[in-house]
Amino acid sequence: MSQKNRPSHRAQRLIEQEEQHFSRATRTRRTVLEAIAGKEDHFTAEELAKELSGVGRATVYRTLAHLVDEGTVCRVPVESGTVYRLGPQTHHHHLICQVCGQVQDIAGCGVDEFVADIGAKWGFQVTGHRLEIYGRCRRCADAA
């Protein structure tokens, strides 16, 4: 390689910084993912941040947002706020029990035609949708 084509000292340093940054982000992501994978049930961002106090609150929140964006983690709106859980990574909906708070992933959609019709009717470019179904789970309904 000629001297001319070699990256400058400064550029080289930037690349190294970038790589360090990247691997740190990857490590953080793994730590957060491991903590999430260890959970049986849904959790709040607050609970996760508390558990991973070594990682730093802002980083936990940012990583969580990233995992939601890529579909690894579901963000579920419940009455008390927002909870998270490891998702099936495909489009799905949720059953949310208003008594015990249990969240169930429901595979498949069933409303995509309805959503497409709405989009056509309103001249709205649909990029996605969410559907949460609230009620009482079987156990809570039986106990009532």
Where does this chain bind Zn ion (CB under 5 A)?
Answer: 74, 87, 97, 99-100, 102, 105, 109, 137, 140
CB of 91 to Zn ion, least distance (A): 6
End-to-end CA distance of the chain: 77
CB of 2 to Zn ion, least distance (A): 54
- In the complex with Zn ion, the residue whose CB is nearer, 21 or 139, is 139
Q: For residue 61, give the 3-state DSSP assignment.
A: helix
User: Token pair of 26, please?
Assistant: 């990857």
- In the complex with Zn ion, the residue whose CB is nearer, 99 or 126, is 99
Q: Could you give the C-alpha distances from 48 to 24, 41, 84, in angstroms and in order?
A: 19, 12, 10
CB of 5 to Zn ion, least distance (A): 50
